[in-house]
Amino acid sequence: MRIVLIGPPGAGKGTQAAILSEELGIPHISTGDLFREHVTRRTPLGQEAKRYLDTGELVPDHVTGGMVRHRLQQSDTRRGFLLDGFPRTLTQARELAAMLDSTGAGLDAVVEFTAPEDIVMKRLLNRGRPDDTEDVIRHRQRVYERQTAPLLDHYADILLTVQAVGPIDEIAGRALRGLSGESVRNPRRAS
């Protein structure tokens, strides 16, 4: 399956992605993790990305798109993938569609994780990643509403919305049950 995960910062995409990746036997590709690896290894891409991560801005589309394209060319993605944190803008969604068109295989589902802002703020402040200060979190929330939330309409025909509050395995169960249902099958693939 080719799946995209969407949700505001702190909704638990990464946690759920790890479980779904295991259950579905497809690689978990997190753009946030890829960027952080580049930052740790001090690659040129990491040096460019760092200031965006630090302030909660999106890394420019051309940098992000190139990194994802490269990752999707690796052979472990042939049977599917779970994209966590990409696309985050309409431009990135179009870029992803173009990457997938060249392989002839579209997305099967977009899973949206939702959680109230006060709950996600608490989770993130507890996590304590360098970009998890209250100001930067608030900024990431605004960036999500402005730039990423419009993708929910864009993907309406394959969207599965999952309430991400409650025990972790129950949330994963909701997502897995939804993914096994007909409602999120991409009509383009059924034809």
Q: Which residues bind ligand ADP (CB under 6 A)?
A: 9, 13, 31-32, 35, 52-53, 56-59, 64, 85-86, 88, 92, 140
> Which residue from 115, 124, 101, 108 is spatially nearest to 158, judged by alpha carbons?
108
Nearer to ligand ADP, 73 or 183 (CB): 73
For the bound state, the minimum distance from the C-beta of residue 58 to ligand ADP, rounded and expressed in Å, comes to 4
For the bound state, the minimum distance from the C-beta of residue 15 to ligand ADP, rounded and expressed in Å, comes to 11
CA 168 vs. chain centroid, Å, equals 17
For the bound state, the minimum distance from the C-beta of residue 180 to ligand ADP, rounded and expressed in Å, comes to 25
Phi (first) and psi of residue 104, to 5 degrees = 75, 10
**Are 105 and 2 within 8 A, CB to CB?**
yes
Nearer to ligand ADP, 35 or 155 (CB): 35
Nearer to ligand ADP, 59 or 172 (CB): 59
What residue type is 103 in one-letter code? Answer: T
Q: Alpha-carbon distance 68 to 106, whole Å? A: 16
